[in-house]
């Protein structure tokens, strides 16, 4: 699910200082939010990019020239089930 609302909520909870009307959010190059508003993206295209092996979430606050990278991992039920076998 290309739930950009969760990304926006995390930004708000982060304490970052930004103007929401300048915000852009893209997932694997598909722009979901521009100028702080949802774009008219194709939900089928969003579903397709979310099924790719790697997911690149890009957030542009338009608040300077800084950037950061965060790495995550597979948190599907299969991955979680595999890693809970340590406790069985």
Query: What residues pair up with 33 in beta bridges, in sequence order?
Result: 25, 38
Indicate yes or no: pTM above 0.85: no
DSSP conformation class of 76: S
Encode pLDDT of 1-55 as tens digits: 678 998 999 999 998 889 999 999 999 999 999 999 999 999 899 989 988 888 8
Residue 81 has pLDDT above 90, yes or no: no
Q: What is the pLDDT of residue 64?
A: 87
Higher-confidence residue of 84 and 6: namely 6
Exposure string of 12-48, with b = 16+ CB inside 10 Å and e = fewer, is eeeeeebeeeebbbbbbebebbbeeeeeebeeeebee
pLDDT the model gives residue 86: 66
């Amino acid at each position: 699910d290309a739930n950009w609302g969760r990304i926006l909520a995390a930004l708000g909870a982060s304490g970052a200082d930004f103007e929401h009307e300048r915000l852009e959010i893209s997932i694997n190059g598909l722009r979901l939010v521009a100028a702080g508003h949802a774009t008219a993206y194709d939900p089928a295209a969003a579903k397709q990019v979310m099924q790719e092996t790697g997911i690149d979430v890009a957030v542009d606050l338009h608040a300077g020239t800084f950037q950061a990278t965060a790495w995550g991992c597979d948190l599907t039920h299969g991955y979680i089930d595999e890693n809970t076998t340590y406790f069985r």
